[in-house]
Amino acid sequence: MANYQNVTNIITDELTATLSNINDNDVEQLLEKINKADKVFFVGVGRVLLSLKSIAKRLAHLGVNTYVVGQTTEPAITENDLLIVGSGSGETAFPLIIAQKAKQYGASVAHIGSNPNSSMSEYADVSVRIPASSKIDTPEEVHSVQPMKSLFEQSLLLLGDTIALMMVKERNIEIESLWEYHANLE
């Protein structure tokens, strides 16, 4: 029978191994793009999209104008904006089409994925590699015992929280002041 503590340790060990192998410079380049953008758009599918929506929400708390592609109030993307694509394989059709479209409008594109040699690399101005198990399964990846791409999706969410905390520290934001941006129609 699976023991809660043993399974928790397996998951946190996988996350530590994955997050500690993300390239610092790539994350700093992404943060620079976020800071320069007028608006930051997010696109992905499935559980990756759920992680991206969480990142968009957290960055909105920090004053970033964030939008998820397809949401009802999504504005036009321009050359002053950034599209962040979450796709482990970098081959998922919908995000690829949206990245191509964003480039047509002159927007910057950032890809967060596990496959640096994917089709998405054709469109990405910045790439952050999360070395988690994917459909491709390369030797440099952290192999996971978790179902499907859970490690990638978890790492993506934690990468977003890491970027948010970097922004808080960079901007000397007092954490308590962020509550004024939190949803209040609860």
Predicted local confidence at residue 120, as pLDDT? 96
149 within a domain of the structure (yes/no): yes
13 within a domain of the structure (yes/no): no
Task: Give catalytic residues, as residue numbers.
Answer: 153
Tens of pLDDT, residue by residue over 35-74, are: 999 999 999 999 999 999 999 999 999 999 999 999 999 9
123 within a domain of the structure (yes/no): yes
Predicted local confidence at residue 135, as pLDDT? 64
Tens of pLDDT, residue by residue over 96-106, are: 999 999 999 99
Tens of pLDDT, residue by residue over 127-158, are: 999 999 766 666 678 787 787 789 999 999 99
Range of the domain at 59: 23-168
10 within a domain of the structure (yes/no): no
* 3-state helix/strand/coil string of the chain: CCCHHHHHHHHHHHHHHHHCCCCHHHHHHHHHHHHHCCCEEEECCHHHHHHHHHHHHHHHHCCCCEEECCCCCCCCCCCCCEEEEECCCCCCHHHHHHHHHHHHCCCEEEEEECCCCCHHHHCCCEEEECCECCCCCCCCCECCCCCCCHHHHHHHHHHHHHHHHHHHHHCCCCHHHHHHHCCCCC
114 within a domain of the structure (yes/no): yes
What is the chain's mean pLDDT, rounded?
92
Tens of pLDDT, residue by residue over 6-32, are: 999 988 998 999 999 999 999 999 999
6 within a domain of the structure (yes/no): no
14 within a domain of the structure (yes/no): no
120 within a domain of the structure (yes/no): yes
Predicted local confidence at residue 175, as pLDDT? 83
Q: What is the CATH number of the domain that holds 103?
A: 3.40.50.10490
- Domains identified in the chain, total number: 1
